[in-house]
Structure 1
Amino acid sequence: IADVHVATWRAAYPGMLPDRVLLGLSPERERAYWRHAIATQGCVGFVHVAEDESGGIAGYGSAGPARASGLGFAGEVYTLYVAPDHQGRGLGRGLLHAMFARLRREGRNSALIWVLAANPARYFYHAMGGMPAAQRRERHFGALLDEAAYGWADLSAVSGARERAKRHV
């Protein structure tokens, strides 16, 4: 997970995050963070991973209860990253659907995800049926960053569409 985190941030966020943040990313620090977060289930809710052909981690996502109240969403996708050399193969779509299914099993029938507004990958969420839900400006790493939320008001509709598509393939 740590290696995917570092690789995706370095590939996705140049020009959006301060260079010192990207250059300062450390797989060792990220490994320690994820070991602790998964062991204590602290601040991550749950984690799903996608494996490559050799059993290595090619992508991951985490989700759980929505952290922001007042937006009308019960669940939140906290992270969704696919290693740059594994993008375009449907892993992100599969991870997102798996997290939606888990949120539904937990009784969370709606969800949102926050993404940097300047990140062109945000349109993936629109293509996945997410609708613009909110905007905010937050301070991260000493910089004010604009964020956009995409939301799914009914996760059962997302799952139903996926099942219908599977039957027609």
Structure 2
Amino acid sequence: MKVRKAAIEDSAAIAGVHIKSWKETYQGLVSQEYLDSLKVEDRQPLWEKSLTETPDKSPVFVAVNPEGEIVGFASFGKERTGKFHADGELYAIYILKKYQRKRIGLKLLEVGLEEMLRQKYGSMLVWVLNDNESRKFYESLQPEKAGEEKIEIAGKEFAESAYVWKDSKLLHKTVKEKTMRG
């Protein structure tokens, strides 16, 4: 599996992974009607904008299978709330279900952390829905739970937790070691 920095021409494929991952991950949690309403063509302009306007400050990395298809992505940048003792943020990691549990998330996180460290980010925050099984991925990397908020998705309220790693260098070392063990 190859991981590389995303380019503008990847926006449709990233949007496709984003939508399909939501449908796979949140089925049974979020209303099916809402999941059915999600469309690649609605999400693609957001990714085009991100990849055009802030590709250096908010890097996006993609995982590409041997057939050249994008099967996952991760997006990073500056921590958005200012409420937590973190300067960087992992905005999202989404991987198609078929490719999960193959250390792709670790590889995307490793490459993203390398870029964030180059940009002098010393700490990292991520938000995760408490009902999302992927929460265990983040918890395995031993973050501190920094807070919890309620968010609304399709008229239903969900608890979301903020996790912080205070030392991005240490997190990078841990991720790299886990990636190499795979």
Query: TM-score, with normalisation over the residues of structure 1?
Result: 0.89
Contact kept, 8 Å, 2:103 with 2:179, in 1: the verdict is no
Unaligned regions of 5+ residues in structure 2, if any?
Answer: 1-13
Aligned to 1:49: 62
1:65 to 58, 78, 82: 78
Q: How far apart in 2 are the matches of 1:155 and 1:25?
A: 34
* Aligned-residue offset at 1:15: 2.7
Relative CO higher for 1 or 2, CA cutoff 8 Å, sep ≥ 6? Answer: 2
* Aligned-residue offset at 1:151: 1.4
- Aligned-pair identity in percent equals 27
Aligned to 2:33: 20
1:11 aligns with 2:28: no
* Aligned-residue offset at 1:98: 1.4
Closer, same or farther in 2 for the Cα pair 1:107/1:29, shift >3 Å? same
Number of aligned residue pairs? 168
Aligned to 1:96: 109
Aligned to 1:140: 153
Contact kept, 8 Å, 2:110 with 2:176, in 1: the verdict is no
Unaligned regions of 5+ residues in structure 1, if any?
Answer: none
CA RMSD of aligned residues (A): 2.2
Q: How far apart in 1 are the matches of 2:181 and 2:23?
A: 38
Aligned to 2:144: 131
Runs of 4+ in 1 over 4 A off after TM superposition: 162-169
